[in-house]
Amino acid sequence: MQDRVIVVTGAGGGLGREYALTLAREGASVVVNDLGGARDGTGAGHNMADQVVKEIKDAGGRAVANYDSVAEPAGAENIIKTALDEFGAVHGVVSNAGILRDGTFHKMSFENWDAVLKVHLYGGYNVIRAAWPHFREQSYGRVVVATSTSGLFGNFGQTNYGAAKLGLVGLINSLALEGAKYNIHANAIAPIAATRMTEDILPKEVLAKLTPEYVAPVVAYLCTEENPNSASVFVVGGGKVQRVALFQNAGVTYDKPPTVQDVAARWDEITDLSAAKQADFKLG
């Protein structure tokens, strides 16, 4: 990580703070971005980002604060501009900024749906898009997005959050293809950790075992030149690091358009995953 410049969004507390501290300890120059708002995205302030920058500098590291919102393209452009102005380059983006507005789907307002997607999914797009030309020009870039088990597997009351988080997996899958010839790697991490985002969701005895310190080294490794993976998803928490991937079975083949009855007759074969292998889907 020595002499690399990494942008970490949502770095004022919890997981993002630990990502920033770990990256700085490994030698990176870090842009500590945080809007400084509440868990639901309301409000703003400078204290959170400033405190993390102070921690890094007090330990001998290099960091600068940024307070822009990732939800707006202009804010994202300014986040990357902060990296360029302060450190002269940008080599990686850890898209971690997020908010929660939970509620069952039948009570989900458009406002709460839209707000979550704007920060998580559009926020990821905005910041990565602002950094992308620099990655291409220098033939190097590392992207890590924060997905979630809520997106990978679902979670009651989090349709907005789950949709946004799985959308980020689709984003890195395509970024990995487009970035391959430019030495740009894009991966996703689904962290399981005790933060202000999860403090009233998980039991206290579980939270005690899920500290951000278990997650941050994996994020830092994904930001290194040595990391060979791209388009990969990792679930990390409580000391366990797992790769998660899609699987597919051999399927069935029809030599002519099937009827509904034809599909029904072979449904057990279509849905049987007992001999499934890791998916490697290609068009054409």
CA distance 16 to 65: 13
- Which residues are CB-neighbours of 64 under 8 A, at least 6 positions away? 29, 30, 31, 32, 53, 82, 83, 86, 87
* pLDDT tens string 5-48: 999 999 999 999 999 999 999 999 999 999 998 888 988 899 99
CA distance 121 to 164: 5
* pLDDT tens string 125-178: 999 999 999 999 999 999 999 999 999 999 999 999 999 999 999 999 999 999
Phi, psi of 236 (to 5 degrees): -135, 130
The confidence score (pLDDT) of residue 38 equals: 87
CA distance 3 to 27: 6
- 99-117 mean pLDDT: 97
Domain residue limits, the chain: 5-245, 248-278
pTM summary value: 0.93
Indicate which residues carry an active-site annotation.
161
The confidence score (pLDDT) of residue 235 equals: 98
Report whether CATH 3.40.50.620 matches the domain 5-245: no
* pLDDT tens string 195-223: 555 566 666 766 777 899 999 999 999 99
The confidence score (pLDDT) of residue 272 equals: 98
The confidence score (pLDDT) of residue 136 equals: 99
Q: In this structure, are strands 233-237 and 240-244 parallel, antiparallel, or unpaired?
A: antiparallel
The answer on pLDDT for 284 being more than 60 is no
